[in-house]
Structure 1
Amino acid sequence: MWFPDWPLDRLRRARRQASPSAKPAETRRPFVLVEPGPKGLLVAASNASARAQGIGAGLRFTDARARLPELAHEEIDREADRAALDRLADWTIRWTPLTALDGEDGLMLETTGCDHLHGGERGMLDRLGAVFGRMGLTHRMGLAATPGAASALARAAPGTILDTGAERAGLAELLTTALRLSGEAETLLRRFGLTRIGQLYGIERTALARRFRSEEAADAVLLRLDQALGHRSEPPDWIRPVPDHVARLPCPEPLGSTEGVEEGLARLLADLCTQLAGQGLGARSFVYHAFRTDGTVSSVGISAARPVRDPAHLARLFRDRLERIDPGFGIDLLMLEAHRTGPMSDSTAALSTELVGGEVDEGALARLADRITAKFREGVVTVRHPVASHLPERSERSAPFDGAMPVPGAGPTGPRPLRMFAHPEPVQVLAEVPEGPPIRFVWRKRPRRVVRADGPERIAPEWWRALTPPPGEATPDGAGRKWLAPKLDPRADAEFIAKVHEKLTALDPGRAPQPRARDYYRVEDEDGRRYWVYRDGLYDDGRGGPPEWFVHGLFA
């Protein structure tokens, strides 16, 4: 599909939607859209009245104004044009799930397996043309087995349908400008007298390449020719993933109420879940589309932690999001898509948690996570996965909940607080030395007196991390001039590692990090609040100054 007047049509539609009773001025007199060029303003698009006066795209605006002093103009809005084309591409998924942008003023639709739903290939083109005509969009369409051939037909022979394998003969008489070439390549082809695509067939490729000033320009012509003829593949960049399963519900009369949207969803969920059940599948993502009569689409989606196909559960997840669908001037088609499908067990749910057979009913947990995600946002439910590290802040990583509980690791040697800070907060401590627990400490500008203390739990430093440089850096070699990245195995000989660390410290004490042991204490203040504090370093350990104290978490 090619929309030759897309910027003007887009502006006209936007003005009509803003003020339905007003007639856009650009339809009554010569009008152009301009944009800055290297030597001043250039005409980017012109309406029929301006084109009748010889004013077209690429003309300098000063020359256009000299020809037609009363010429009206506005600056083109490329971002708004692209956003509107994106929305139109979204709307065309009602015809086929595979839609891509074709430049700044065209769309590419893959109709294989869809045209029979609309009366065949010719019937589909006629129906699309009628819809675009009602929208007020100037359009040209072509249909072929390759994207390049279809684009060429839309620009040079609109309405033509080529059968598979007929590209060579069908494109022979078309102008070379239909191959989506650069301006430089088109100019050179005209200079050589090559104005028809068929004239390129009989020229040797090496001879054609020699006629161009650069090898890149010749390769561009050959690439476009091969793509149009099907000799080289041209996979389009589809704007959305292809759904695994789809259910459609045409509306005999345009829907204008939320109740109709809800009833349509209930029917589509029953249909789609039946499809999934027939193949023993569930889906983790569902998208509900409402196609309006004005050529726009409103969509909402939900996600599940694990594959599901329960209509009641899915309806509950959609319930709080249906209010986002605006019927506008009416909805004439509803569609529900299922993405990320996977096998699903047919076993029935347990009557109670005691009958699950395990400590956690993962099915009930997944349904709870689905409801929370639907209420808030995607990724809000996370789980903590164990990581092989002694340091508490490195011993876990957060990841989105995918329906399964993480495999438990070795676990810490002592109890951990319910709430752990991402970054330990420093405190001022009065403690029994050298290794006693805190007696009093000041945290967040408030003094607290300790009445109970338990510990210490000593966590030794991860000395191998001290020998691994930060990202983008490395450790110095023996001369102290270059930086290398040694690959050391933490399980290697400890004596060897200690010698390497000692040498690095002697070479550059400022660069060599000094890992220190930590002593963790569980303390309770006089108000009953419990904290997880630690002393970073030991007295006279030779690895820095006096120890520092931090609060790392809070117990319930």
Structure 2
Amino acid sequence: MSKPRRILSVYLPRFGMEHWEIRARRRGETLDSEKPCALGLDTPRGPVVHAVNPAAEAQGIHAGARVVDMRALCPDLRMEHADLHAEKHALERLMLWSRRWAPWSAIDGKGGLVLDVTGCAHLFGGEDGFLRKVEADLARAGMTCRLAIAPTHGAAWALARYGTGAAICHDVMDGQLAALSVRALRIAGETVTLLNRLGLKTIGDLLATPRVPLTRRFARNALEENPLMRLDQMTGKLAEPLTAPKDPPRFVVQSRLAEPVQDPTEWIPQLAEELCTHLHDEGKGLRRVHLTVYRTDGEVSSVTCATSQATRDPKHIARLFDGKLESIDPGFGFDLITLIGSANEQIGTRQTRLDRKPDHSEATARTIDRLIARFGPPAVLRPKHTPRHMPERQEHWQTALASDAYPTPINLQRPCRLLEHPEEIRVLYAVPEGPPAQFSWRKLVHRINRYEGPERIAPEWWNDRASSRIRDYYRIEEQYGLRLWIYRNGLLNDGRGFDPLWFMHGLFL
């Protein structure tokens, strides 16, 4: 016989403010809990309050109010900007962190979590002990919470937000639920107002009312506006499926040592081999690897290395730590070493080239990784290709670790080396409607033996000035065998300035 379902609802009423306070303390700020502070958001009707601390709440500051009104109410109110993106990711991390209590968890609206704790409470001494454990863990993390355990998601949600203290509900018809406001049904504010006008202010009132008239009134309403459907979900008459996101795969290997040691170098190759075996089994490759040593005095020291592309080569991973282990402080020695792979990406089995020619892509990536490990990420740059009309705007430099930093695609019609700034050439003899027969560049006279072109490139009208001119590019070969890329800037009598000028822009190597 299966155990009755038990759902835990965790409500964090001050999550936004408490998350900001945690980040501020990590930055070294000193916060005074006695001074009112609030987070604000920009909206079409002006800045509004997003979250407040207890001191601001005591002075009447509340979420959703306009900042100008609240400043008039509390002139010494400190306002900070709310980072909703960071807050969202923090709640996602907290949701995964909460799986230490139960294996199933999900985000439940703003500042809320829901966990299926069926069969888990006995591990903590029953449901009372379970709630005390959750509350103590969140308090150590700097979070204020309200908790409730019930047979259904709707009942647990209602008790956590509208109940009094930590609540345990064993029966969905419990008197605790009947005394709650109809707001606890997770319905829209307009529906709550309508029910109140009808004299239905509590869930008990709704349960005591005949269903037929209410069914006629709310039959066409959506779930968020239908109190009867929400009531059936709360009482378990209507199923409410819950989906928990999968825990991101973690690849961790460790080595426990019989005696404390000072240098982890000897154990890194074996740990890298084990880590790559797990990665291969899951079809994954890592972009970042963390080596952590746990000292006998309780301190922890770690080193992190990153890669320019996903890898699961144990020899390459081990070499990334060459020259970086000096930063580890061994203290009196450490007896536990862990290797953690993060920023994992899906990679399949790679096939070598069919023409048996060497594939240099992996070797290039490994060289880049070793340079980054030695000189640091800002010192190693790679070009990023951008689809633009003008050749000099098609690529720019960024760090090699950037996920979108890839070599510029090869185009045989374009030179592999462009001059940083096109250099003007002095035409000595021109061919009508073609390139110059001779020109002077860098104090040398070049005679053109053959050429290809023109390749006409128009200005970027959305980016360039109206006076910008058309370019005609030619691939030429001069008498010394040099293959060059030159262009004529403008056309004769195009009405955009003087006679066209010629420029050197690139070299074919």
1:457 corresponds to which of 422, 428, 451: 451
Q: Which residue of 2 aligns with 1:75?
A: 78
1:4 corresponds to which of 13, 38, 44: 13
RMSD: 6.8
Q: Deviations over 1:456-488 (max 9, x none)?
A: 4222457xx99xx989xxxxxxxxxxxxxxxxx
Secondary structure class of the residue paired with 1:360: coil
Paired residues of 2:383 and 2:405 also in contact (CA < 8 A): no
2:200 is the alignment partner of 1:194? yes
Q: Which residue of 1 aligns with 2:363?
A: 364
1:532 corresponds to which of 480, 485, 488: 485
Secondary structure class of the residue paired with 1:129: helix
Superposition pairs for residues 474-493 of structure 1, below 5 Å?
none
Q: Which residue of 1 aligns with 2:317?
A: 314
Q: Which residue of 1 aligns with 2:335?
A: none
Q: Which residue of 2 aligns with 1:339?
A: 344
2:143 corresponds to which of 113, 137, 141: 137
Secondary structure class of the residue paired with 1:368: helix
TM-superposed CA distance for 1:196, in Å, is 3.8
* Closer/same/farther in 2, CA of residues 521 and 318 from structure 1, 3 Å limit: same
Paired residues of 1:140 and 1:154 also in contact (CA < 8 A): yes
Paired residues of 1:289 and 1:336 also in contact (CA < 8 A): no
Q: Which residue of 2 aligns with 1:302?
A: 306
* Closer/same/farther in 2, CA of residues 220 and 547 from structure 1, 3 Å limit: farther
Secondary structure class of the residue paired with 1:77: strand
Aligned partners of 1:402 and 1:62: how far apart in 2?
A: 43
TM-superposed CA distance for 1:207, in Å, is 0.3
- Between 1:172-181 and 1:110-119, the stretch displaced more is 110-119
TM-superposed CA distance for 1:289, in Å, is 10
Aligned partners of 1:267 and 1:138: how far apart in 2?
A: 44
Aligned partners of 2:20 and 2:287: how far apart in 1?
A: 35
* Closer/same/farther in 2, CA of residues 192 and 227 from structure 1, 3 Å limit: same
Paired residues of 2:153 and 2:240 also in contact (CA < 8 A): no
Aligned residues: 447
Paired residues of 2:40 and 2:51 also in contact (CA < 8 A): no
2:437 is the alignment partner of 1:437? yes
Aligned partners of 1:373 and 1:227: how far apart in 2?
A: 55
Superposition pairs for residues 378-389 of structure 1, below 5 Å?
380-381=381-382
2:457 is the alignment partner of 1:521? no
TM-superposed CA distance for 1:397, in Å, is 8.4
Q: Which residue of 2 aligns with 1:353?
A: none
TM-superposed CA distance for 1:137, in Å, is 3.1
Paired residues of 2:148 and 2:159 also in contact (CA < 8 A): yes
TM-superposed CA distance for 1:437, in Å, is 3.1
- Name the amino acid aligned to 2:367: L
Q: Sequence identity, in percent?
A: 25
* Closer/same/farther in 2, CA of residues 32 and 437 from structure 1, 3 Å limit: same
Q: Which residue of 2 aligns with 1:419?
A: 417
Q: Which residue of 2 aligns with 1:283?
A: 285
Paired residues of 2:489 and 2:502 also in contact (CA < 8 A): yes
Q: Which residue of 1 aligns with 2:218?
A: 208
Paired residues of 1:453 and 1:521 also in contact (CA < 8 A): no
Q: Which residue of 2 aligns with 1:108?
A: 113
- Name the amino acid aligned to 1:449: K
Q: Which residue of 2 aligns with 1:256?
A: none
Q: Please, which runs of 5 or more residues in structure 2 have no aligned partner?
A: 1-9, 257-261, 293-301, 330-337
TM-superposed CA distance for 1:285, in Å, is 3.4
Aligned partners of 2:323 and 2:303: how far apart in 1?
A: 13
TM-superposed CA distance for 1:272, in Å, is 3.7
Secondary structure class of the residue paired with 1:519: strand
Secondary structure class of the residue paired with 1:194: coil
Paired residues of 2:285 and 2:346 also in contact (CA < 8 A): yes
Q: Please, which runs of 5 or more residues in structure 1 have no aligned partner?
A: 252-258, 291-297, 327-332, 350-355, 442-447, 472-510
Aligned partners of 1:450 and 1:16: how far apart in 2?
A: 65
Aligned partners of 1:541 and 1:24: how far apart in 2?
A: 70
Q: Deviations over 1:2-29 (max 9, x none)?
A: 2234467568768987999x99563xxx
Paired residues of 1:437 and 1:456 also in contact (CA < 8 A): no
* Closer/same/farther in 2, CA of residues 530 and 470 from structure 1, 3 Å limit: closer
Aligned partners of 2:495 and 2:85: how far apart in 1?
A: 64
TM-superposed CA distance for 1:552, in Å, is 1.7
TM-score by length of 1: 0.54
Aligned partners of 1:309 and 1:170: how far apart in 2?
A: 58
TM-superposed CA distance for 1:133, in Å, is 2.5
* Closer/same/farther in 2, CA of residues 276 and 47 from structure 1, 3 Å limit: closer
Aligned partners of 1:121 and 1:336: how far apart in 2?
A: 36
Secondary structure class of the residue paired with 1:532: strand
Superposition pairs for residues 30-179 of structure 1, below 5 Å?
33=37, 45=52, 47=54, 57=62, 74-77=77-80, 79=82, 83=86, 86-87=89-90, 89-90=92-93, 93-96=96-99, 106-108=111-113, 126-142=132-148, 151-157=157-163, 159=166, 173=178, 174-179=180-185
TM-superposed CA distance for 1:432, in Å, is 0.9
TM-superposed CA distance for 1:62, in Å, is 13
Q: Which residue of 2 aligns with 1:479?
A: none
- Name the amino acid aligned to 2:437: P
Aligned partners of 2:247 and 2:89: how far apart in 1?
A: 17
Secondary structure class of the residue paired with 1:305: strand
Aligned partners of 1:261 and 1:126: how far apart in 2?
A: 40
Q: Deviations over 1:257-301 (max 9, x none)?
A: xx8999999897565434234x273414346599xxxxxxx9967
Paired residues of 1:152 and 1:178 also in contact (CA < 8 A): yes
Aligned partners of 1:532 and 1:42: how far apart in 2?
A: 59
TM-superposed CA distance for 1:109, in Å, is 5.8
Paired residues of 2:425 and 2:439 also in contact (CA < 8 A): no
Secondary structure class of the residue paired with 1:344: coil
Secondary structure class of the residue paired with 1:458: strand
Aligned partners of 2:50 and 2:410: how far apart in 1?
A: 66
Q: Deviations over 1:116-141 (max 9, x none)?
A: 99869957654332222334532113
Aligned partners of 1:133 and 1:190: how far apart in 2?
A: 37
* Closer/same/farther in 2, CA of residues 552 and 92 from structure 1, 3 Å limit: same
- Name the amino acid aligned to 2:417: R
* Closer/same/farther in 2, CA of residues 271 and 33 from structure 1, 3 Å limit: same
Aligned partners of 2:507 and 2:418: how far apart in 1?
A: 6
* Closer/same/farther in 2, CA of residues 32 and 187 from structure 1, 3 Å limit: farther
Paired residues of 1:208 and 1:218 also in contact (CA < 8 A): no
